[in-house]
Amino acid sequence: MPQTSLMMTLQFSSSGTPVNVQAKHFLIPGLGRYDHKYSPKLPSKSPKTSIFNSHQIPNPILHQPPVNQSVAAIVFGDGSESRLYPLTKRRSEGAIPIASNYRLIDAVVSNCINSNINKIYALTQFNSTSLNSHLSRAYSGASLGKEGFVEVIAAYQSPEDQGWFQGTADAIRRCLWVLEEYPVAEFLVLPGHHLYKMDYQRVIESHRNRKSDITIVASNGITKRDQDPGVGVLKINTENQVMQYSLKSNKEPVNYAVVEAYLFEGYWEDMRSIEAFYQANMECIKKLNTGYNSFCDRDSPVYTIPRNLPPTVVNDAMITDSVIGDGCILNRCKIKSTVVGMRTKIRDGAIIEDSVIMGSDVYQIEDGRESSIKSTSVPIGIGENTEIRKAIVDKNARIGKNVKIINKDNVEEGDREANGYIISGRIMVVLRSAEIPDNSIL
């Protein structure tokens, strides 16, 4: 088995005391949320791990490995458990739209392309139809070089293995016969729903220079979300060596082969909740950008499906501090601090603030001549004189006239899925293709 560069969000310090580590995508052999029974074993060694700070490379441009670095990326686009429900009711996490024109997985795949890693495998299983379609349409051989590819490997059954993937490590084990077709020296294992910008070349160089069996990319930011049950404990000694790792649910420490922690100090959002997803979108439109800044980065662009949509039409609308996708029709409305997705139609008198509107898959001509989506009395889009504040409106939603989506009772959590919406962290979430009748107050 080749050496593996492993990407994961960790929380740690050099104090020698136990610290937090997010363990959802941990692929170290013998370790994981539900992977331990299926993980291949590395030879047993005493821990011999150092912490590497990304700022120790004086000039990253002069230290990049060559383009033909024999590295392949393995990207996971989904999981059986998601805290982004109901956004994942009919799609996987990696397929969730973000920042008007993109999907979450585009950020990770673009990191690979911008880091000259052009052999990319996407392993999918749960609710993967939308993600598989997006990847196959978005990334062609032309943008990845002659030998580059983005290959989707969907979960499958065979005479030898008649079950589905039992976790991330099991998915890799089951797909080794495909992954080993190309002679690669390292695998870069990546969660497909995290939002961050990173030059993987520096990680690869650190991994090679230190001759590590596994490299873990770690973020040193600690938040209240790190108290979740999926978080584990990483123990580091005074010499910055990783000594132990264990999950909170398993108090016994786990020792393993040589593991390096590569410290990443940039923006990193792992989308572990509706609130995190909402905040990531809001940070994309801030004047002082403290969030993800690659959507407008000319040097490290984010790639996605090229679409032949017309420009957005703005008719006497007032728009401030917002991001507007392609092909929208905005009529005499007020939009503030909002992300508006493709093909969104917002009608006269509507007011939308601090919200994420994901848009539509089709244009609906309201005289009934066009639309593959079943027509109802409420057309797709935002109706006249409707008010929406601090909400996420999923694709193809039909919001009627004079509707108020404002969480009028200031509810923290609420399940109104039968009525087309839920409330999570005081954020209103309107389900995909939901219909909110005229004059509703939510």
Give the tens place of pLDDT for each residue, 268-286. 888 889 999 999 999 888 7
Residue 47, pLDDT > 60, answer no
Coil, strand or helix: which one is 411?
Answer: coil
Instruction: Give the model's confidence band at 2: pLDDT under 50 very low, under 70 low, under 90 confident, else very high.
Output: very low
Coil, strand or helix: which one is 277?
Answer: helix
Please give the angle made by the CA atoms of 408, 411 and 417, to the nearest 5 degrees.
Answer: 95
**Mean pLDDT throughout 121-142?**
84
What is the C-alpha separation between 57 and 75, in angstroms, rounded? 26
108 touches 75 (CB < 8 A): yes
Domains of the chain: 3-283 (3.90.550.10), 313-363+376-436 (2.160.10.10)
Residue 323, pLDDT > 70, answer yes
Residue 350, pLDDT > 90, answer yes
Coil, strand or helix: which one is 387?
Answer: strand
Coil, strand or helix: which one is 351?
Answer: strand
Helix (H) or strand (E) holding 7: strand 3-7
Coil, strand or helix: which one is 346?
Answer: strand
pTM of the model: 0.79
Instruction: Give the model's confidence band at 298: pLDDT under 50 very low, under 70 low, under 90 confident, else very high.
Output: confident
DSSP 424: E
Q: What was the pLDDT predicted at 42?
A: 34
Considering only residues 242 and 92, tell me which one the structure prediction assigns the higher pLDDT: 92
72 touches 150 (CB < 8 A): no
189 touches 74 (CB < 8 A): yes
What is the C-alpha separation between 420 and 439, in angstroms, rounded? 15
116 touches 109 (CB < 8 A): no
**Mean pLDDT throughout 210-232?**
64
DSSP code string of 187-205: EEEEETT-EE---HHHHHH
State the average pLDDT for the chain.
76
What is the C-alpha separation between 307 and 292, in angstroms, rounded? 23
Residue 22, pLDDT > 90, answer no
Q: What was the pLDDT predicted at 176?
A: 80
Considering only residues 390 and 163, tell me which one the structure prediction assigns the higher pLDDT: 390
Among residues of the chain, what percentage have pLDDT more than 90?
Answer: 35
Q: What was the pLDDT predicted at 285?
A: 87
